[in-house]
C-alpha cells in the first residue's frame, strides 16, 4: 500500500459490503478475499465482498416481493437523508455483490446493517470516495463461498484474531475499515452475538479524519482528540498510523487490536 495526499473533490458514491460470518472450531470466522492486483480500488488488499450501488439495484429493489421490506430496511439503516427506495437498493446491492463476487445467495431481507464508512476527501489509499454500508450475514448452510478469480484472486475463512495477526506479520494488506471491523468482531466471538448486536443498534457512522504528523499519515475516528465527534463508536484504538508499511495503533502493538477497549458510553 502507498499513501497518497490526493484530494478527491467528487462526492462519495454509494456502496455496499457484506461481512459473511460463520462459527468455526476456533470461534467466529469471517470471509475475506484478495482483490486483484490490477484493481483501481485497494488492489491486492484483503476485503469483504462488496461494490458500488448501481441503477439496476434500484430497479430490482422495486420488485413486488421486496416492496413490503422497504420501511423496515429504511428504519434499520437509521439514515434520515435516504428514501425508502434508496435504502432498499443498498440491501439489494449487498446481496448482488455477495453472489457475483463469491457465489453466495443471500436473502436481502436477512442482512443486518453493521456500520457506515465514508471515505474522506483526502482518501489516503485511492482516488475515489465511497459511502459504504457494511452488512452482516450468517453464511447459509449448504452453500460455499469462493472468490470469482476475476475481481478477486484468493479467499479464506479466518477468525478475526488470525486475520489481524497475519496482517501484522505482513502476509497481506488491509485498509482501515476492514482492520477496525475485524477488531470489533474479535471482541464479540460468535455469529449469534454479532447478529444480536447488529439487530439492536443503529449502525455507527464513521467519517475518518486524516492528517499528517511528523511525516506520517494518521487517521482518527470518533472519540479521538482530533476528531469532531467526541464520543467513540467502535471498540479499539481511536486512530491508526501508517508506519512500517501498515496501519498500526498508536502503541505500535498488535495487542491494542486484539484486546480492544470498549467505546465510551
3-state DSSP of 33-69? EEECCCCCCCCCEEECCEEECCHHHHHHHCCCCCHHH
Statement: residue 75 has pLDDT above 50: yes
CATH number at residue 124: 3.90.79.10
> What is the percent of the chain where pLDDT is above 70?
95
Identify any residues that bridge with 240 across adjacent strands, giving them in sequence order: 219
pLDDT of 153 higher than 90? no
Asked whether the predicted pLDDT for residue 260 surpasses 80, the reply is no
Strands 13-24 and 130-138: parallel
**Taking a C-beta distance cutoff of 8 angstroms, is the pair 166, 258 a contact?**
no
Residue 265 maps to a domain: no
1 in any annotated domain = no
* Residue 36 lies in domain: 13-258
> Which position has the higher pLDDT, 77 or 149?
77
Q: Which three-class secondary structure state does DSSP give residue 16?
A: strand
**How crowded is residue 246: how many other Cβ atoms within 10 Å of its Cβ?**
16
pLDDT of residue 4: 74
Q: Which of 199, 233, 234 is nearest to 76 (CA)?
A: 199
Residue 222 belongs to a domain: yes
Does residue 4 belong to any structural domain of this protein? no
Classify residue 9 as exposed, middle or buried by CB count within 10 Å of its CB (0-12, 13-18, 19+): exposed
SS3 117: strand
What total number of domains does the chain contain? 1
Within-domain flag for 129? yes
Predicted confidence (pLDDT) at residue 265 exceeds the cutoff of 60: no
Would the pTM count as exceeding 0.85? yes
- pLDDT averaged over the chain? 91
Q: Is residue 3 part of a domain?
A: no
Alpha carbon separation from 8 to 2, 37, 220 (Å, rounded): 16, 22, 18
Residue 10 CB-density burial (10 A; 0-12 exposed, 13-18 middle, 19+ buried): exposed
Query: What is the three-class DSSP state of 163?
Result: helix
On whether residue 81 sits in a domain, the answer given is yes
Within 10 angstroms of residue 251's Cβ, the number of other Cβ atoms is 11
Q: Is residue 95 part of a domain?
A: yes
Amino acid at each position: 500500500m502507498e499513501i497518497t495526499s490526493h484530494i478527491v473533490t467528487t462526492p462519495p458514491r454509494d456502496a455496499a459490503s457484506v461481512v459473511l460470518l460463520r462459527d468455526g472450531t476456533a470461534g467466529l470466522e469471517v470471509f475475506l478475499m484478495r482483490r486483484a492486483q490490477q484493481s483501481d480500488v485497494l488492489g491486492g488488499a484483503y476485503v469483504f465482498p462488496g461494490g458500488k450501488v448501481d441503477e439496476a439495484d434500484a430497479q430490482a429493489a422495486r420488485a413486488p416481493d421486496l416492496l413490503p421490506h422497504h420501511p423496515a430496511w429504511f428504519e434499520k439503516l437509521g439514515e434520515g437523508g435516504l428514501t425508502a427506495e434508496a435504502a432498499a437498493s443498498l440491501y439489494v446491492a449487498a446481496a448482488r455483490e455477495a453472489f457475483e463476487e463469491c457465489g453466495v445467495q443471500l436473502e436481502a431481507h436477512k442482512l443486518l446493517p453493521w456500520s457506515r464508512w465514508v471515505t474522506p476527501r483526502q482518501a489516503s489509499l485511492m482516488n475515489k470516495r465511497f459511502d459504504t454500508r457494511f452488512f452482516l450475514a450468517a453464511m447459509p448452510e449448504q452453500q460455499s463461498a469462493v472468490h470469482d478469480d476475476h475481481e478477486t484472486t484468493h479467499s479464506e475463512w479466518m477468525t478475526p484474531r488470525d486475520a489481524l495477526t497475519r496482517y501484522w506479520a505482513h502476509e497481506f494488506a488491509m485498509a482501515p475499515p476492514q482492520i477496525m471491523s475485524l477488531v470489533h468482531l474479535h471482541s464479540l466471538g460468535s455469529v449469534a452475538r454479532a447478529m444480536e448486536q447488529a439487530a439492536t443498534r443503529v449502525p455507527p457512522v464513521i467519517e475518518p479524519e486524516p492528517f499528517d504528523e511528523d511525516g506520517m499519515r494518521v487517521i482518527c475516528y470518533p472519540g479521538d482528540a482530533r476528531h469532531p465527534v467526541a464520543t467513540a463508536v467502535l471498540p479499539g484504538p481511536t486512530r491508526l498510523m501508517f508506519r512500517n508499511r501498515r496501519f498500526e495503533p498508536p502503541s505500535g502493538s498488535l495487542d491494542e487490536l486484539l484486546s480492544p477497549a470498549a467505546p465510551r458510553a
